[in-house]
Amino acid sequence: MIFLVEYNRSQARTIRMLEFPDSSKREAEDARLKLELELNASGTKHDVVLLEAKSKEALRRTHRRYFGSFEPVHKFLRDLEGRSAGH
Amino acid sequence: MVLRYFAVCLDLLAEEDAAFNSPDCRGAVQSVANLTKTQIDRLGERLKVNSQSEADLQLLEEYRRSFGEAYDDVVRITRNLNLDPSGRRAKSTSAIVEKLQRESIRLSQMQDIAGCRIVVANLGEQDQVVASLQKAFAKAAITDRRDHPSSGYRAVHMVVEAASRAVEIQVRTLLQHLWAELSERSADLLDPAIKYGGGPAEWQSMLEESSILIVNCEKLEKVTMEDYLVAFDEFSVIGAEFERKMVVAWERLFSVFAFQGKEALRVKLMQRQRDSHEQQKKEILDRLTAASIAENASLRQILTRTAERLNEMISAIADLERRTK
């Protein structure tokens, strides 16, 4: 799978993520350039990244920057502390 | 335990489902031309001073596309080794520009235009993966940042050659990867300089300390396993008492680590013959039991501190994220 990501670094936020099958590498590259040119023309300073992985799940493991926050981990740790304190 | 614990953390992160819009931004770009080295470097010089004209972005895209075949070759060969790489066919414009501005490097010299990443369980597996990649690629330059980290960042980076192009392969352990994720997230939320040793001093100190804790934690795991393997191989015959005590020491040690090789080595241990030179057995037993007790205490101390430090960082990052929203 190929993933085209528009990422706002200053807000640590993914604006959009487009998916392409492996057979559409050319289309994905075209889309990256088109998006980059659009953002450049509008003066928007966002990262445009083209990523590849076997699946979205695999990509989340290796490039989680583009997949949201650490809040679930924080919550997991808080819950764990709570359970430990209860024992 | 600590690896399992952080694996759970990464799983939790992976389960999070992000819904993204998919506006149609598909367009068309015409053929990829061959660029000369001079053209590439001049393009780099223009990009370096933040001049991103449409023509330059088109030119950069042409250059990036010339890495496509090399990237595909590297991914295919890597997958043939039963590895699961994820990556980018080509570095983003912003990352290229920042690297040109940060380092005294020409665009044509940049060796990580295309690159992929492999995350493995531990140092032992990392060594194995690097060795098998070295065999798979005739030309491979290795930068081992495990003992000489770059601003706390630890990993093994390889630059291999495929289709006459350089492609970078990053090999990280689970803990090295978690640290890198925390560092990157901090840089995005707080200050981009954090990734390169800058930014708020207290944050740098937290990252540096956790980086050292992680490497100690991982090294202890590796040393422990290697010590046992050496002991097993050095003495061909192990007595029943030694075996029993070793299993106890073993269990105590691995109650801390969920180590993959535990069962395999335990079986190996159980298969040893039981008659041997009693004095030799006693010496080995005394030495290893004492060592395992000391190591176990040291392990617990390091693991606890590592977990505490990483928890603090995750908590601080979650706090930053809430404030950024």
- The alpha carbon of B238 is separated from its chain's Cα centroid by a whole number of angstroms, namely 37
Q: What residues are paired with A19 via a beta bridge?
A: A3
Q: Higher pLDDT residue, A63 or B219?
A: A63
pLDDT-derived band at B223, boundaries 50, 70, 90: low
From B20, B113, B130, select the one nearest B65 (Cα to Cα). Answer: B113
Per-residue pLDDT at B238 exceeds 50: no
- For residue B57, the model assigns a pLDDT of 94
Asked if the C-beta of B94 comes within 8 angstroms of chain A's C-beta atoms, the answer is: yes
> Is A40 touching B (CB cutoff 8 A)?
yes
pLDDT tens digit string along B127-183?
999 999 999 998 899 999 998 899 999 999 999 999 999 999 999 988 888 889 888
Per the prediction, chain B carries an average pLDDT of: 74
Judged by a CB distance cut-off of 8 A, whether residue A62 touches chain B is yes
Q: Do A59 and B15 touch (CB under 8 A)?
A: no
The answer to whether the Cβ–Cβ distance between A33 and B57 falls below 8 Å is: yes
CA-based nearest distance B286→chain A, Å: 35
DSSP secondary structure, B58-93, as one string: HHHHHHHHTTHHHHHHHHHHHHHTT---EEEEE--H
Which residues on chain A are in Cβ contact (under 8 Å) with B89? 25, 29, 50, 52
**Closest residue on chain A to B30 (Cα):** A30
Q: Is the pLDDT of residue B203 over 50?
A: yes
DSSP string over A3-58: EEEEEETTTTEEEEEEEE-GGGHHHHHHHHHHHHHHHHHHT---EEEEEE-SSHHH
Q: Which of residues 62-91 of B touch A (CB under 8 A)?
A: 64-65, 68, 71, 75, 84-90
Ranking A37-46, B1-10, B145-154 by mean pLDDT, the lowest is B1-10
Q: Is A49 in contact with B92 (Cβ distance < 8 A)?
A: yes
A56 touches chain B (CB under 8 A): no
Chain B neighbors of A74, CB-CB under 8 A: 314-315, 317-318
Q: Give the pLDDT band (50/70/90) at residue B186.
A: confident
Q: Report the distance separating Cα B58 and Cα B31, nearest Å.
A: 11
Query: What count of CB pairs under 8 Å joins A to B?
Result: 157
Q: Is the CB of A8 inside 8 Å of chain B's CB atoms?
A: no
Residue B194's Cβ-count burial label (10 Å; 0-12, 13-18, 19+) is: buried
How many whole angstroms separate alpha carbon A72 and alpha carbon B3?
A: 18
Which range (B123-127, B217-221, B226-230) has the least confidence? B226-230
What is the b/e burial string over B286-325, where b = at least 16 CB atoms within 10 angstroms of the residue's CB?
A: eebbeebeebbeebeebbebbbebbbebbebbbebbeeee
What pLDDT is stored for residue B15 in this prediction?
43
pLDDT confidence band for A19 (50 / 70 / 90):
very high
pTM for the model: 0.73
Q: In the beta sheet, which residues pair with residue B128?
A: none
Query: What element of type H or E holds B42?
Result: helix B37-48
Residues of chain B with C-beta less than 8 angstroms from the C-beta of A21: none
**Which of B16 and A1 is assigned the larger pLDDT?**
A1
Q: Which of A32, A58, A76 sits opposite B9 (nearest CB)?
A: A76
- Chain A: give the shortest CA distance to residue B252, in Å: 21
pLDDT of B268 over the 60 cut: no
Q: How confident is the model at residue B202 (pLDDT cuts 50, 70, 90)?
A: confident
**pLDDT at position B296, please?**
57
Tell me what percent of the residues of chain B surpass a pLDDT of 70: 62
Q: Dump the DSSP string for B154-191.
A: --EEEEEEETTEEEEEEEEEHHHHHHHHHHHHHHHHT-
Test A9 with B188 for CB contact under 8 angstroms: yes
Whose tokens are 């990993």? That residue is: B155
A22 touches chain B (CB under 8 A): no
pLDDT tens string B64-93: 999 999 999 999 999 999 999 999 888 999
User: Which residues, other chains included, contact B29 with Cβ-Cβ below 8 Å and sequence gap of 6+?
Assistant: A29, A30, A33, A34, B58, B61
Q: Which residue of B has its CA nearest to A34?
A: B27
Q: Looking at residue B70, what is its pLDDT?
A: 95
Out of A18-22, B144-148, B260-264, B285-289, which region has the weakest mean confidence (pLDDT)?
B260-264
ipTM for this prediction: 0.86
Lowest mean pLDDT among A52-66, B16-30, B175-189, B286-300: B16-30
The predicted-structure confidence for B282-309, as pLDDT tens digits, reads as follows 555 555 555 555 555 665 566 667 667 7
Per mean pLDDT, which of B54-63, B267-276, B313-322 is the most reliable? B54-63
Asked if A59 and B86 come within 8 Å (Cβ–Cβ), the reply is: yes
Tell me the range of A14-18, B180-184, B216-220 where mean pLDDT is highest. A14-18
B92 touches chain A (CB under 8 A): yes
The reported pLDDT for the residue numbered B298 is: 61
